Amino acid sequence: MSDKIEERKAALQSTISSASDSIEKQLESYKKVGKNALIAGGIVLGGYLLSRLFTSDDSPEEENPVPPQPQPQKEDSIVWPAIRGVATTVALTLVRNKLLELIENHFNKNEPENH
């Protein structure tokens, strides 16, 4: 009777081991996809910010435009958009690094320690 229990235990351990390996491989692929998505998102956002930096904010005129409301005089300066772009880039870099750190910590927590 105890032989059957031991065989069943071994079979369950084998099933658990193979399932764990499969899950780890899938998480590893998700990690790679996540890194690539963050990089692609950063590149797209950077391109968008650069295009906004170098294009004017003037919209095409309509045939019957609504008379514009008086607005405070706005200085045409490249400094503020550049500062906003740099701040956005720094913030995205910090978020990306934190996400990668969290993913790395998750994988390190699940790996058995070798002593």
Mean pLDDT of 38-44: 83
Phi, psi of 63 (to 5 degrees): -70, -45
Examine residue 30 and state whether it is found in any structural domain, yes or no.
yes
Examine residue 100 and state whether it is found in any structural domain, yes or no.
yes
Q: Is the pTM of this model over 0.85?
A: no
Q: Considering only CA atoms, which of 81, 59, 76, 77 is closest in space to residue 68?
A: 59
Examine residue 9 and state whether it is found in any structural domain, yes or no.
yes
- The answer to whether 42 and 92 are in contact (CB under 8 A) is yes
What is the DSSP secondary structure assignment for residue 68, as one 8-state letter? P
Q: Which residue has the tokens 């008086």?
A: 70
Q: Which domain holds residue 101?
A: 2-55+79-110
What is the DSSP secondary structure assignment for residue 44, as one 8-state letter? H
Number of domains present in the structure of the chain: 1
More confident call, 5 vs 71: 5
Examine residue 66 and state whether it is found in any structural domain, yes or no.
no
Q: Is the pLDDT of residue 115 over 50?
A: no
